[in-house]
Amino acid sequence: MKKDMSMNRRSFLKTSAAGLGALAAPSIISSKALASSGELNFTGWAGYDKLAAEVFPAFTAATGIKVNFKELPDQDTMFGEAKVALEAGGMDVTEPTIDRVAAWNSNGLIQPWDDSKLAVDNYLPGLIDGNAAGMARADGKLLFAPSNWGTESMVVNTADAKLSSPPSLGDLFSADNQATLRPHSALAAMGRYLDGAGKLPRPWMDGYSDMAAMTELWDIALAEAIKAKGNVVQWWSGENEANAGFTANGATVGLCWDSTGYNLRNDGYAYVAPVEGAFAWNQGFVLMKNAVNVEQAHEFAKFVSTPDGAAMWATAFSANPVGKGGYDKMGPDVAKYYGDFLTAETSAKLWWWPAQSAEFLTKRAEYADKYKAA
């Protein structure tokens, strides 16, 4: 996906300012959406207060549709909750990353979006087209409606972190640092670090398409990560835990989302790209197989693709907007933060999470559990 997704924040902004023309017209609200329940059951990420405080009220004001919001800490929990909801109901839309969509679909959890009820031309290039189309669509049908995108990189205490020159993913495992890590991301970071150092028998990416290669490579990454486990002061799975790793438990480095770096930017921390390149993710909405409020769900996804909706959603996550014109609507502090990080060099090195099958995710979870339990 890297070739088509490598457009960075600066190139998006330049394009939206110079070449995209007029912003998308306001959504035309479906009469069916208002004639039925007028509600939407959305299960999303915990720890992003602006969603409930600002974004959902704006959506309700624009459409008359109320959002019933259930917060969960991570998408593994969302996946498990969705399996329950497939029988019990109560979930219309949730928000995984694009690399997980194949697993959601193969487990029979989701149904396609109706392109004609969205505004797919609103989306920035590369989010559901190009190489991303292989993950966003199945049999030509759209399964994924983008909501925001961003990176996972190194948050460092500028006074106390001991970094290589240039900084490296290997610094996360140095005994000179105290680390807060998400287990599966840390193992991938170890794998990429070893790959870059020429210490793997085959390319790290081979493990995402071949399960035998996955076992071979992740065995090596796990063994090396366990050797360095003594510097981990906190595991994290959601935003609040990642922040606490630094503010409560004294971490000097962490592999965290860009939003963590943003939250801590004024407290002596910096968000740094390793020489191997930052991880990058593309997040969006999927429509549950047994969704009741289908018309409302389409209005919801369409709202987040508009300039205003995209800017509000991205601001809530301290991330990048998915809609054309969205950057022009964002606050200057958020825009500066991402502009400073996403330089031409760091953008060129972004490592986009590849597609991950249900079998791969199950095996990856086993490795993560072994890492934590070792």
Same domain flag for 50 and 141: yes
Q: Given pLDDT bands bounded at 50, 70 and 90, which one contains residue 338?
A: confident
| Mean pLDDT of all residues in 277-293 | 97
Residues 117 and 163 occupy one common structural domain? no
Segments forming the whole domain that contains residue 265: 151-279+354-373
Q: Residue 344: its pLDDT value, please?
A: 87
Give the percent of the chain with pLDDT over 70: 90
Residue 360 sits in the same domain as residue 300: no
Q: Which of 58, 4, 67, 125 is nearest to 329 (CA)?
A: 58
Q: For the packed helices 307-317 and 56-63, what is the interaxial angle rounded to 10 degrees?
A: 160
Determine the pLDDT at residue 347.
86
The answer on 323 and 365 residing in a single domain is no
Residue 289: which pLDDT band, with cuts at 50, 70 and 90? very high
Give the pLDDT of residue 261: 96
Q: Does residue 75 sit in the same domain as residue 118?
A: yes
110-168 pLDDT, tens digit each: 999 999 999 999 999 889 998 889 999 999 999 999 999 999 999 999 999 999 999 99
> Is the predicted pLDDT of residue 231 greater than 60, yes or no?
yes
Asked if residue 349 belongs to a domain, the reply is: no
Q: Are residues 241 and 127 located together in one domain of the fold? A: no
How many residues can be counted in the chain? Answer: 374
Number of independent structural domains in the chain: 2
- What is the predicted pLDDT for the residue at 31? 53
**Position 262 confidence tier, pLDDT thresholds 50, 70, 90:** very high
Give pTM, 2 decimals.
Answer: 0.80
Mean pLDDT, the chain, whole residue set: 90
Q: Is residue 170 part of a domain?
A: yes
pLDDT digits (tens, 9 = 90+) for 293-302: 999 999 999 9
32 and 142 fall within a common domain: yes
Q: Give the mean pLDDT of 74-97.
A: 96
Task: Residue 121: give its domain's CATH number.
Answer: 3.40.190.10
pLDDT of 28: 52
10 and 132 share a domain? yes
Q: What angle do CA 169, 171, 174 make, to 5 degrees?
A: 135
Alpha-carbon distance values, 155 to 121, 178, 190, 261 (Å): 35, 12, 16, 6
Q: Looking at the structure, do residues 130 and 79 belong to the same domain, yes or no?
A: yes
Q: How confident is the model at residue 34 (pLDDT cuts 50, 70, 90)?
A: low
Say yes or no: 335 and 359 in one domain.
no
Kindly state whether residues 262 and 293 are assigned to the same domain: no
Q: Is residue 22 located within the same domain as residue 102?
A: yes
